[in-house]
Chain A
Amino acid sequence: MTVYEPPVSIYGPVTDWATDFDHADPAYNRNAHAIWGELRDTCPVAHSDRYGGTWLPVTHETVREIAYDTENFTSRAVVVSTVVPDDPAPIGGAPPITSDPPFHHDARRLLLPPFSPKKIAEWEDEVRILCHSLLDAMEAKIAAGEPVDAALDYAQHIPVNVISRMLGFPLEDDDIFRGFVHDILESINGEPEERIRSFERIDAYLLAQIEDHRANPRDDLTSYLMDVEMYGEKLPDNMVGGVILLLLVAGIDTTWSAIGSSIWHLATHADDRRRLVADPSLMTTAIEEFLRAYAPVTMARLVAKDHDFHGCPMKKDEWVLLPFPAANLDPAEFADADKVLIDRQENRHAAFGLGIHRCLGSNLARLELRVAVEEFIARFPDFELDGTVDDVVWSVGQIRGPRELPVRVPNR
């Protein structure tokens, strides 16, 4: 099943990437590195009238500056779309990612402990077992002469399974969760009414899960969120739902994209694949380099007040995309920025963001990415793309990664 049909755009195809860009145009993610490179040289902060006005800074300096500036830019909405949520600052609809100081700090403190490195390390064995079972199924397909796909058969299943277990949600609802992610993160330039209806569907699902946890409390993140106190009171259901929405959406196709992009690299760069198979001690630097070169997540902000930014007249409530992946490819910040060096020693990449909104799930994402790549190349030390790079289907929108990645495993 392929759920990743591009949405029907109300804007039409892009005419010029500097003045009319649209990150939901299928050509954007497919050609992102070239587009960012061109803009970096010619127009380091691009503007488009789409979505009610959107800015796109592409240098490390400008992305970093906005990430650190919570006065002029608000996080109350972080997904650029035809619908601007009406949830007010400083809480927003999916705290703490949609929150601003000072509320952000207190909400984030509730969530940091379950996502700390030591707590997340406890999940390693489960992730490994999950990868084994997915690889077993891929091997069975290969043995039967069927085609296999590293995104559809492998990457897309790993993060959704883990976050569903953490939340205590039904594992068999994984297609529903991927549908939510598609609705929220990919169906961004369609009719606003359709987007609002999809949010209502998601809210109804989450409230039903909260009710189920109220009737049957258990040892999971959902029950934890329903129990935990902030300012001496339990969180209201709509805030619990907002936090869960964040964990579910941010925890699924981000890491799935990172796993897919890393396997894409190894499928298209045989030298790196052979080197990594031969020398597993390179895994730590290789994973960080894949995160730099193929960072999946572009965040967004709304302009909080009219101001001038590097000569750009930014108006209140315009969108600003924060393409951390573009910042990671800026030659002003990284030596050989356009080369993937799996033994890169100095690598201050911003794949998980910069500043107070550093990805809450970064430790989990890293664990899943590392184990997924380790297990994939252990099982399939020799593999390549099945077809050409044009047979790879990329996501649309702020999260970039392969949604279809046909691979061939020779000599088996």
Chain B
Amino acid sequence: MRIHVDAEKCQGHNRCYALAPELFDVDDYGNAVVIGDGTVSPDLVERAKLAVANCPEFAITLSE
């Protein structure tokens, strides 16, 4: 699975970075970026879902 951040929607709430720092980093402006190519290892799928479920701006998606 892959995680994706929509940079147009992200407003820097940093919920994803707090919940899943293995999957997300933040830039100097506090906006979220995915680490690497966004591939989610099986042990981190639950964390990824948590990040999706807590983004106030609906900026994160998880795809097959």
Contacts and interface: CB of A to CB of B under 8 A. Distances in A.
Interface of A: 109, 112-113, 115-118, 284, 288, 345-350, 352, 354-356, 358, 362-363
A109 B31 CA distance: 11
A112 B29 contact: yes
A334 B50 CA distance: 15
Which of the four size classes fits the interface of chain B? 20 to 34
Given A112-B29, A352-B56, 14 more contacts: A109-B29, A116-B28, A116-B29, A117-B14, A117-B26, A117-B30, A288-B15, A347-B53, A354-B57, A355-B57, A356-B11, A358-B11, A363-B14, A363-B30
A112 B30 contact: yes
Contacts of A117: 14, 17-18, 26, 30
B35 interface: no
Interface-centre pick from B26, B54, B58 (highest chain A CB count, 10 A): B54
B45 interface: no
Contacts of A346: 53-54
Given A362-B13, A363-B14, A354 B29 contact: no
B62 interface: no
Interface string B2-25: 000000000111110111000000
A348 B11 CA distance: 13
B12 A358 contact: yes
B13 A347 contact: no
Nearest to A356: B11
Contacts, number: 52
Which 10 residue pairs spanning A and B have beta carbons closest together? A358-B11, A116-B30, A346-B53, A112-B29, A348-B56, A113-B28, A117-B14, A117-B26, A112-B30, A350-B56
6 contacts: A113-B28, A116-B26, A117-B30, A347-B53, A356-B11, A362-B14
A113 B55 contact: no
Contacts of A355: 11, 57
Contacts of A358: 11-13
Contacts of A352: 13, 56
